[in-house]
Amino acid sequence: MTIRGIKGVKDILPDEVGRWQLIEAEARRLAEVYGFREIRVPIFETTELFARSIGASTDIVEKEMYTFQDRDGSSLTLRPEATAGAVRAYIEHNLSASPTSQKLYYFGPMFRHERPQAGRLRQFHQFGVESFGCAEPAADIEVLSLLWRFFSTLGLPDLTLEINSLGEAGDRPAYKEVLLEFLKKHEEKLCQNCLRRMATNPLRVLDCKVPECRAATEHAPKLTDHLSAAARGHFDAVLAGLRTLAIPFTLNPRLVRGLDYYTLTTFEITTTHLGAQNAVGAGGRYDGLVETLGGPKTPAVGFAVGLERTVLALPGAAVQTPSKLVYVASFGLQGQPAGQRVLYDLRAIGIQANTDNRAASLKSHLKQADRLGASLTVIIGDDEVAKDLVVVRDMTTKEQVEIPLSSAANGLRTRLNTA
C-alpha cells in the first residue's frame, strides 16, 4: 500500500496555486495599505496557551487540538488559531510599548482535529489581523472595513456581513441567567441538541437551525437588550461607522462565536457559494485576552479569514493571466548547446523562458511550447547554428523571422513586447 496524505490535510497543486497567490497578494497589499505589519508566530505553542485563551470548555480545546508531548514531557499543541500566539508574542516582546507594532497581520496553517467536509479541513489556512491598544469603536470599524474591502475587491459573490454585540465581560453571565429562565419555560419545544446546549452553552440554542427551535426562541430575550450602557454605546457607534462607510450589514442577535475570549463586537461574513460551512471570515473584539494571558490591560479587535473557503468562493475570472513565455526548441549536436546558452541569457534578463529537456524532435518541442502557452518559440537546430542565427516563431500568428544567434536574448525581448 502506498503512503497517502493524512485525512483532512490537502495538497495544493500547481494548477490551483494561482488562485492562492492572488488571494494572498491582495490580503498582504490591503493589510499594508491599512497600516498593519506582518508578524510570523510559531505553528506550535504550549498547550496551556490555547486552553487559557480559547477557553478550557470550548469544543476546540476539549476535542479538536493536535496535542503531543515534547521529549521533556511538556505538553505542546499545533495551533488551532493564531490569535493566542499573536497575543503571547505581543506580551513577550513588550509590543505594547511599541508605537508602530499595534496593528499586526499574519498568514499560515491552523490545525483542528475535526471530521472534514466541504470547506472544513484538519489543516487549513488563515489570513488574520489583530489591532491592539485601542478600545474605541474606530478600531472595530477599521478592522471591519479591511475585511469587507478584502472580499469585495476579490469579487466574492453574495456576501453578507452579520454583526452582533456580546456585551462587556459582566453582561454575558447576567444575560445567560435571563435566557436560561426563558428556555426552561419552553423546554418541551426544543430539540435534543438544544437541551444539551442549555447545559453547555445556552447562547448556542439561539443559533440552532431546527425550525421548531427557531420558532420557540423567536421571542427569547435578546442579548443586545441586556447590554450595559457602555456596551450599547460602543455597538451603536460601530454600526454608525459602518453606515458612514456604506458597508452593508445585518444585525444578527443570534450570532454567537465559539471562542470564549470575545467581548462586545462580533461579526461574521458569509457567502452562499460554500455549502454548510458558509463563513469565509469572522472575528470580533477581545478586550480581556491580553490581561488573561498575563499582559497589561489591553483592548484588542481582530478577524480571521479562511483561505480555503475564500479560494472555493473566488470567481474563476479572478485568476491572473500568466506572464509571457519564450519557449526554446533546440535540438541536434550544435543546436542543443546553443539553445542552452540562449535559455540562460533569457533568464538572466528576467524573461520567463522554458524548454522541455526530454523533447528530441522539433515536433515534440512545438507541442510542448503550445501546452505551456508560449508566446514565442525560438527554433535552434544545427542549420541555424551554422548560419549563426535563430528562427523566432510567433505562436499565435505562426509568423517566423530570423535573428542573429549572438544577440538572440535581447532580440527576443524586443519581439516579446510586441507579440
Binding site for RNA (CB under 7 A): 4-5, 7-8, 58-60, 64, 81, 112, 114-121, 124, 126, 193, 197, 201, 204, 207-209, 256-259, 268, 275-282, 304-306, 308-309, 332, 361-364, 366-367, 369-371, 379, 381-384, 391, 393, 395-396, 398, 400
> Look-up: residue for cell 498593519?
36
Q: Which of 171, 47, 216, 27 is nearest to 105 (CA)?
A: 27
Within its chain, how far is the Cα of 274 from the centroid?
Answer: 15
- Smallest gap from Cβ 187 to RNA, in A, equals 17
Closer of 73 and 316 to RNA (Cβ) = 316
135 Cβ contact partners less than 8 Å away, ≥ 6 residues apart: 287, 299
- Smallest gap from Cβ 100 to RNA, in A, equals 27
Closer of 101 and 270 to RNA (Cβ) = 270
**Residue 132 CA neighbour count, 13 Å, CB half:** 27
Give strand pairing partners of 304: 128, 282
Q: What are phi and psi of 345, to 5 degrees?
A: -70, -40
- Smallest gap from Cβ 260 to RNA, in A, equals 9
- Smallest gap from Cβ 47 to RNA, in A, equals 18
Burial (CB < 10 A; 0-12, 13-18, 19+), residue 390, is: buried
Closer of 49 and 101 to RNA (Cβ) = 49
- Smallest gap from Cβ 333 to RNA, in A, equals 11
**In Å, what is the CA distance from 21 to each residue of 78, 303, 307?**
24, 20, 11
129 grid coordinates: 489581523
Q: Which of 221, 223, 215 is nearest to 188 (CA)?
A: 215
357 grid coordinates: 529537456
Rounded-to-integer distance, Cα 262 and Cα 276, Å? 23
Contact 14, 7 (CB under 8 A): no
- Smallest gap from Cβ 72 to RNA, in A, equals 28
Closer of 231 and 378 to RNA (Cβ) = 378
Give strand pairing partners of 106: 128
- Smallest gap from Cβ 380 to RNA, in A, equals 7
56-60's contacts with Cβ under 8 Å and 24+ in sequence apart are 57/200, 57/260, 58/258, 58/259, 58/260, 59/258, 60/112, 60/258, 60/259
Closer of 101 and 408 to RNA (Cβ) = 408
- Smallest gap from Cβ 121 to RNA, in A, equals 5
Closer of 120 and 189 to RNA (Cβ) = 120
Q: Which of 120, 46, 113, 55 is nearest to 80 (CA)?
A: 113
Closer of 128 and 295 to RNA (Cβ) = 128
Rounded-to-integer distance, Cα 75 and Cα 61, Å? 13
- Smallest gap from Cβ 351 to RNA, in A, equals 18
Closer of 117 and 414 to RNA (Cβ) = 117
Closer of 36 and 262 to RNA (Cβ) = 262
